[in-house]
Amino acid sequence: MKIIKLIKTCDACPAQWEGKLEDGRMLYFRYRYGHLSVRISPEVTDDIMDAVDGEEIFGTFIGDELDGSMSEEELLKAITPMLKQ
């Protein structure tokens, strides 16, 4: 998986990003309640809602139930296992 675009869309809780893969599919990243979720659009699209409603391809608990803030550096570190697939 190669991410070619990554934009943070929310600094508050939950931390959120939109991304685009090299193959044209969209990614939606959300960190809330200590859980990081990554969802993917099923097909090539420019509509982020296709990823929001898409399949969760990665999920992990990082913080506690009150945690919802995350930097881009922390995000990239957390998703490294997903990128190696």
pLDDT digits (tens, 9 = 90+) for 1-21: 899 999 999 988 899 999 999
The confidence score (pLDDT) of residue 84 equals: 77
- Give the mean pLDDT of the chain: 94
- Residue 81's nearest CA partner among 53, 55, 62 is 62
The confidence score (pLDDT) of residue 81 equals: 83
∠ CA 63-68-72, rounded to 5°: 90
Q: What is the pLDDT of residues 31-45, one digit of tens each?
A: 999 999 999 999 999
27 backbone dihedrals φ, ψ, rounded to 5°:
-120, 145
Q: Which two tokens mark 5?
A: 């675009």
The confidence score (pLDDT) of residue 85 equals: 67
- Residue 1's nearest CA partner among 29, 20, 16 is 20
Q: Which two tokens mark 15?
A: 């931390």
Q: Which two tokens mark 52?
A: 């929001």
The confidence score (pLDDT) of residue 1 equals: 83
